[in-house]
A and B are shown apart, each in its own frame.
Chain A
Amino acid sequence: MSIVLDSKIPSGPLDQKWSKHKMDSKLINPANKRKFTILVVGSGLAGGAAAATLAELGYKVKCFCYQDSPRRAHSIAAQGGINAAKNYQNDGDSVRRLFYDTIKGGDFRSREANVHRLAEVSTNIIDQCVAQGVPFAREYGGLLDNRSFGGAQVSRTFYARGQTGQQLLIGCYQALEKEVHKGGVQMFPRTEMLDVVLVDGHAKGIVVRDMVTGKISSHSGDAVIMATGGYGNVFFLSTNAMGCNVTAAWRAARRGALFANPCYTQIHPTCIPVSGDYQSKLTLMSESLRNDGRIWVPKSKEIAEKLRNKQILPDSVKDEDRDYFLERKYPSFGNLSPRDISSRAAKECCDDGRGVAPTGLGVYLDFRDAINRLGEPAIRARYGNLFQMYDKIAGEDPYKQPMMIYPAVHYTMGGLWVDYNLMSNVPGLHVLGEANFSDHGANRLGASALMQGLADGYFVIPTTIANYLATQTPGKCSVNDDAFKQAEAETTARVNKLVGIKGKRTVDSFHRELGLMMWDNCGMARNKTGLEENIRRIPEIREEFWNNVCIPGSGNMANMELEKAGRVADFLEFAETMCYDALAREESCGGHFREEYQTRAGDPDVDSGLVAPGEAKRDDANFAHVAAWQYNEGQAPTLHKEQLQYEEVKLSVRSYK
């Protein structure tokens, strides 16, 4: 099967493409809108915003989430903030600059047109959220406050203490509940999507499992929107919520949707280090802390050894014995260097034997100087809840001793391939937020995930979905059609098969084994040997899983082991595609660091002082493309490429020196 990837990017100058596209998009008259049913899977910022807005427009919406309430979607855990090109600080920001920072931050591996649109609508998002009552931080004059985030030299991040994601999601949830009350949205909490139903090649429905009764049923609609988040939990340990999974996206991939750039994963530099093998998740400490915290390790291995053994305390280490490695390596961005770069720098120090956690995998994030400069109350006002969170988990007071941090899996830039309308290659199947691949390239900048989720949900999909719906006759499909019956039967058979294995090993033990393998060989640094090893071993684990996993109880009731097993089964298939992608991309870019492809002494850019040795080395001649993978049952996936066209931006070496 040959697939032509048409990005449907509108013609015309970059800064007029979105306006032009809005004018050229189809409209559906109000009397007809109510005849269309749209199924929205996921209720985070992207899904919740889309469901609420589409219902306001008059469409009939059904919204599904696996949590007990749409308010619990993992968007809620985002701490730091949301970017917008408002230039309220008068510090030289503009749509153009936000666009450029995002493209550069993504290491020139995202679509120009999508990113420009994101920067354009960023300003509308802030207006919308304020109107909903989101309590953003304010200055004494009553106007909105901003702070800085990694990868930018302007202050464009809006925030609500350290709980920005929570406040934005609650705003979105309230808008959603408003539509539930008015009858525009029917909400299905504790309901997990297990398959997408295609009718004549179009996505026309989904199969779901009721997580309370175990009942498997299907829903039909005129279009399907998936806003189901990222796949970071393929690593077992990540900052994602325990329930985050790839199932919806992977089930769609099995039905023919292409999975784009799965190897682009973001390792966040500031998380609480791993302490033991019982650990179930990693906790992020917001990037905003890097506004005032300074990151360091000792210059000597001997001092590091003493710190690890707790023979000395970090505050007793003299300034001349400290290596503030980000400030040293990237003087102009310093502690606010982008996430991929900061993470790798921390890993280098620890690989060098200068790590400070008991495991050797940790660096300090120190507020001593900020507290001396601004006083403890000012720091408490900015980061109080984050400091408290650290204290609870680590059992240490960060006002007295520096925090210990280490990189952890946080966000996934890859996702289902979508065109400019946010529709996948499967007609009718639209993908929003972290679940799609489109805006962040090979690395996402801080405070851009909330922006993208809300941009997609509030402002993009309500316009673009009409381009698909206008070609469709509403209400054409019903759950009594053969396609639905067959998909339901397949899902039921799969659930029964899982429950029937009754083996010896727990679901978590398989998940942990897979996660460790992915972290070691497809994590912060990758190489050919490790990736080939994973591609050989993953099918073996999968084989054992399907013969030896133990799921107690039945499928006809709440059964958390069954839920986890279904998700891990999908991770065990998806992980292989991820490794194929990392193997095929023979360059380093953003979060994808192939050890074979790094800058070395002797490179012209290194000798000229533009970049240091050991940085990611892109290969624009051969890899300036989106890698979209097609699933093949029992065989290696097939690669399809979408060439990235840069009309306005000149591809350059990404330097933060």
Chain B
Amino acid sequence: MLNLTLKVWRQKTPQDQGSIETYDAKNIPEEASFLEMLDIVNGRIIETGGEPIHFDHDCREGICGMCSLTINGVPHSKEKGITTCQVHMRKFQEGDTIWIEPFRARAFPVIRDLIVDRSAMDRIIASGGYIDVRTGSAVDANSLPIPKTDADSAFDAAACIGCGACIAACKNSSAMLFTAAKVSHLGHLPQGQPERDKRVLAMVRQMDAEGFGNCTNQYECEAACPKEISVDHIARMNRDFATALVKEQLLS
């Protein structure tokens, strides 16, 4: 059993100022997950008449991308390659103080406590992060052989769970890794070629319009990414963007 001190960001409404509050987390089983530790603490807060700490979570197995806590200053904690819900208490020591804050970015306004609004990421996808095929019009799946290496590269980028850790980790709140992962996923596949230029231009412009910053090559994004998506995709997107921009200007 662990006895810990929590320093937690509390903010009742989007308009409130918000502040860090301190909580004791006593007798926490080492086998519990980080979010189960918060469940235990919340149960005690409710039983003593308080309002529980609000946080986003859903699948609790590291794939839905809903959980989004900054733990001791690092999105999803300093453990490599995992989401918040996959952090386990056996990684902490007796007497530790843990700082818990939301994923912070200008484009991620706080809704309550540790819950933020990440709908800007949906709007980036909506601007062009897809292949425009109509249901029912597809040809036989094996009529388009795709080299295994291309399919694997596409998959590496497609593994993104859209959690926003890359953005919260970046000092510029840049969404470059998130956007590049989608550009790269579709750009690696033959199906993605017809809209390749249009896609990268639209997505990058939407990213800018949402208020995300630019990339200054510090790579905190890759370090924080629970799916360990490589920053190489950013370089690839930059190249695609430059090519598409030149073509657009020559043609207009």
**Chain A residues packing against B (C-beta within 8 Å):** 49, 52-53, 56, 67-72, 74, 76-77, 86, 88, 124, 126-133, 135-144, 160-161, 163, 165-167, 170, 173-175, 177-178, 180-181, 187, 189, 212, 241-243, 275-276, 278-281, 283-284, 388-389, 392-393, 395, 458-459, 462, 504, 506, 508-509, 550, 552-553, 557-558, 560-561
**Are the CB atoms of A560 and B54 closer together than 8 Å?**
yes
Bound complex: CA A189 to CA B58 (Å): 14
**Given A143-B142, A242-B58, A283-B61, A167:B158 Cβ within 8 A:** yes
**Are the CB atoms of B158 and A170 closer together than 8 Å?**
yes
5 tightest CB-CB pairs across the interface, nearest first?
A: A142-B145, A174-B130, A131-B138, A127-B138, A177-B126
The answer to whether B252 has its CB under 8 Å from any CB of chain A is: no
* Segment at the A interface, from B183-191, B230-238, B242-250: B183-191
Which residues of chain B are within 8 angstroms of A392 by Cβ–Cβ distance? 62, 82, 86, 88
Q: Output the residue of A69, A77, A133, A167 with the most chain B CB within 10 A.
A: A133
- Separation in Å of the A64 CB from the closest CB of chain B? 14
Bound complex: CA A539 to CA B33 (Å): 33
**Are the CB atoms of B64 and A74 closer together than 8 Å?**
yes
**Are the CB atoms of A128 and B58 closer together than 8 Å?**
no
Bound complex: CA A144 to CA B151 (Å): 10
Residues in B122-147 with C-beta less than 8 Å from chain A: 122, 125-142, 144-147
Which residues of chain B are within 8 angstroms of A124 by Cβ–Cβ distance? 136, 138
**Are the CB atoms of B63 and A393 closer together than 8 Å?**
no
**Are the CB atoms of A458 and B125 closer together than 8 Å?**
no
Which B residue sits closest to A84, measured CB to CB?
Answer: B141
Which residues of chain A are within 8 angstroms of B185 by Cβ–Cβ distance? 133, 135
The answer to whether B7 has its CB under 8 Å from any CB of chain A is: no
**Could you list 5 further interchain pairs (A-B, Cβ under 8 angstroms) beyond the known A67-B58, A135-B155, A180-B126?**
A69-B119, A124-B138, A136-B151, A506-B43, A561-B52
**Are the CB atoms of B49 and A181 closer together than 8 Å?**
no
- Separation in Å of the A250 CB from the closest CB of chain B? 20
* Segment at the A interface, from B94-102, B110-118, B168-176, B209-217: B110-118
The answer to whether B220 has its CB under 8 Å from any CB of chain A is: no
Choose one: A127, A242, A557; the contact of B112 (CB below 8 Å).
Answer: A557
**Are the CB atoms of B130 and A175 closer together than 8 Å?**
yes
- Separation in Å of the B122 CB from the closest CB of chain A? 5
Which A residue sits closest to B45, measured CB to CB?
Answer: A552
**Are the CB atoms of A68 and B119 closer together than 8 Å?**
yes
The answer to whether B57 has its CB under 8 Å from any CB of chain A is: yes
The answer to whether B12 has its CB under 8 Å from any CB of chain A is: yes
**Are the CB atoms of A189 and B155 closer together than 8 Å?**
no
Which B residue sits closest to A395, measured CB to CB?
Answer: B90
Which residues of chain B are within 8 angstroms of A130 by Cβ–Cβ distance? 138, 141, 144, 191
The answer to whether B65 has its CB under 8 Å from any CB of chain A is: yes
Bound complex: CA A622 to CA B147 (Å): 54
Which B residue sits closest to A243, measured CB to CB?
Answer: B58
- For chain B, the bracket of interface size reads 35 or more
Which residues of chain B are within 8 angstroms of A504 by Cβ–Cβ distance? 47
**Are the CB atoms of B52 and A174 closer together than 8 Å?**
no
- Separation in Å of the A608 CB from the closest CB of chain B? 43
**Are the CB atoms of A558 and B54 closer together than 8 Å?**
yes
**Are the CB atoms of B125 and A177 closer together than 8 Å?**
yes
Which A residue sits closest to B35, measured CB to CB?
Answer: A280
Which residues of chain A are within 8 angstroms of B56 by Cβ–Cβ distance? 68
Which residues of chain A are within 8 angstroms of B43 by Cβ–Cβ distance? 506, 508-509
**Given A133-B192, A557-B112, A144:B59 Cβ within 8 A:** no
Bound complex: CA A276 to CA B27 (Å): 13
The answer to whether B13 has its CB under 8 Å from any CB of chain A is: yes
Bound complex: CA A180 to CA B129 (Å): 12
Which residues of chain A are within 8 angstroms of B12 by Cβ–Cβ distance? 557
Which residues of chain A are within 8 angstroms of B132 by Cβ–Cβ distance? 178
**Are the CB atoms of A86 and B141 closer together than 8 Å?**
yes
Bound complex: CA A584 to CA B18 (Å): 55
**Are the CB atoms of B126 and A181 closer together than 8 Å?**
yes
**Are the CB atoms of A133 and B154 closer together than 8 Å?**
yes
**Are the CB atoms of B131 and A76 closer together than 8 Å?**
no
Which A residue sits closest to B160, measured CB to CB?
Answer: A170
**Are the CB atoms of A174 and B129 closer together than 8 Å?**
yes
Which residues of chain A are within 8 angstroms of B192 by Cβ–Cβ distance? 133
- Separation in Å of the A138 CB from the closest CB of chain B? 5
The answer to whether B29 has its CB under 8 Å from any CB of chain A is: yes
**Are the CB atoms of A135 and B59 closer together than 8 Å?**
no
Choose one: B29, B52, B86; the contact of A393 (CB below 8 Å).
Answer: B86
Which residues of chain B are within 8 angstroms of A189 by Cβ–Cβ distance? 119, 122
**Given A141-B145, A280-B35, A557-B112, A69:B122 Cβ within 8 A:** yes
Bound complex: CA A139 to CA B140 (Å): 17
Which residues of chain A are within 8 angstroms of B146 by Cβ–Cβ distance? 138, 142
- Separation in Å of the A261 CB from the closest CB of chain B? 26
**Given A56-B135, A177-B130, A276:B31 Cβ within 8 A:** yes
**Given A139-B148, A458-B135, A72:B65 Cβ within 8 A:** yes
- Separation in Å of the B226 CB from the closest CB of chain A? 11
The answer to whether B2 has its CB under 8 Å from any CB of chain A is: no
Which B residue sits closest to A554, measured CB to CB?
Answer: B51
Which residues of chain A are within 8 angstroms of B33 by Cβ–Cβ distance? 280, 393
Bound complex: CA A298 to CA B176 (Å): 52
Which residues of chain B are within 8 angstroms of A173 by Cβ–Cβ distance? 125
**Given A133-B154, A174-B125, A276-B29, A552:B52 Cβ within 8 A:** yes
**Are the CB atoms of B59 and A131 closer together than 8 Å?**
no
Which residues of chain B are within 8 angstroms of A74 by Cβ–Cβ distance? 58-59, 64
Cβ contacts A to B, 23 pairs, < 8 Å: A67-B58, A69-B122, A69-B162, A74-B58, A76-B59, A124-B138, A128-B138, A138-B146, A142-B146, A166-B159, A167-B158, A177-B122, A181-B127, A276-B32, A278-B29, A278-B32, A280-B36, A392-B86, A393-B33, A395-B88, A459-B136, A508-B39, A550-B47
- Separation in Å of the A192 CB from the closest CB of chain B? 13
**Are the CB atoms of A71 and B135 closer together than 8 Å?**
no
Which residues of chain B are within 8 angstroms of A165 by Cβ–Cβ distance? 63
Which residues of chain A are within 8 angstroms of B121 by Cβ–Cβ distance? 69
**Are the CB atoms of B147 and A127 closer together than 8 Å?**
no
**Are the CB atoms of B119 and A178 closer together than 8 Å?**
no
Bound complex: CA A492 to CA B249 (Å): 56
Q: Output the residue of A68, A165, A181 with the most chain B CB within 10 A.
A: A68
Bound complex: CA A173 to CA B182 (Å): 13
**Given A56-B135, A138-B146, A550-B46, A77:B13 Cβ within 8 A:** no
Q: Output the residue of B36, B46, B119 with the most chain A CB within 10 A.
A: B46
- Separation in Å of the B126 CB from the closest CB of chain A? 4
Which residues of chain B are within 8 angstroms of A281 by Cβ–Cβ distance? 60-61
**Given A56-B134, A132-B131, A558:B111 Cβ within 8 A:** yes
Which residues of chain A are within 8 angstroms of B122 by Cβ–Cβ distance? 69-71, 177, 180, 187, 189
Which A residue sits closest to B147, measured CB to CB?
Answer: A142
Which residues of chain B are within 8 angstroms of A550 by Cβ–Cβ distance? 46-47
**Are the CB atoms of A178 and B126 closer together than 8 Å?**
yes
**Given A68-B56, A138-B151, A133:B186 Cβ within 8 A:** yes
**Given A160-B155, A278-B32, A166:B140 Cβ within 8 A:** no
The answer to whether B161 has its CB under 8 Å from any CB of chain A is: yes
Bound complex: CA A561 to CA B32 (Å): 21
Bound complex: CA A560 to CA B118 (Å): 18
Which residues of chain B are within 8 angstroms of A283 by Cβ–Cβ distance? 60-61
Bound complex: CA A315 to CA B141 (Å): 43
Bound complex: CA A283 to CA B117 (Å): 27
Which residues of chain A are within 8 angstroms of B57 by Cβ–Cβ distance? 242
Bound complex: CA A392 to CA B144 (Å): 38
The answer to whether B40 has its CB under 8 Å from any CB of chain A is: yes
**Given A131-B191, A138-B146, A392-B88, A71:B54 Cβ within 8 A:** no
**Are the CB atoms of A506 and B47 closer together than 8 Å?**
yes
Which residues of chain B are within 8 angstroms of A127 by Cβ–Cβ distance? 138-141
Bound complex: CA A129 to CA B185 (Å): 14
Which residues of chain B are within 8 angstroms of A139 by Cβ–Cβ distance? 148
**Are the CB atoms of B39 and A278 closer together than 8 Å?**
yes
Which residues of chain A are within 8 angstroms of B32 by Cβ–Cβ distance? 276, 278-279
